[in-house]
Amino acid sequence: MAELGRHVVFRVGTGRYALPLSAVREVAVTPELVTRIPRTGPAVTGVINLRGRVVTVVDLRPLLDLPDPASPPAKVLLLDRGRRDLGLGVSEVEGIEHLDRVVSSATATSGLVRGVAVLGEVEVGMLDADELDARVTALFRGR
């Protein structure tokens, strides 16, 4: 078990996940215009112009092995990853919560989910921000 602090809790499909607040710069509504990047996989939604900055947007569903819903992600979580602008497409942001403990979970098989926290009566998958960054970087290798 690990002690935690404040996390951004969000939904991807019907699942709830969290990232440390320190890893998230801001939340934005997904703009209507998302420019697709040629020859990228299904996890790469495309790029958006956010106040003059080009932000690469990645859909978390393929990275978490979740099915595609009928509608695209409604929100974009902008990660604080140094000079690179990276956004994660999510269904909804539920808020900032203080999570006390994370326990290892047998369902945490993707490598992105490092454990599970319980928030009220709901399980929240705790995502590893560094592993997520590594997986997104791997999407663009060989280009």
Residues 71-120 have pLDDT tens digits of 778 899 998 777 678 899 999 999 999 987 777 665 555 688 888 998 88
Domain map (residue ranges) of the chain: 2-139
Taking only the tens place, the pLDDT of each residue in 26-52 is: 999 988 888 888 888 888 888 999 888
pLDDT of residue 2: 47
pLDDT of residue 83: 66
Sign of CA dihedral 89, 67, 69, 18: negative
Taking only the tens place, the pLDDT of each residue in 50-59 is: 888 889 899 8
> What class does CATH assign to 2-139?
mainly beta
- Measured CA to CA in angstroms, residue 26 lies from 7, 44, 87, 120, 141 at distances of 13, 19, 9, 25, 26
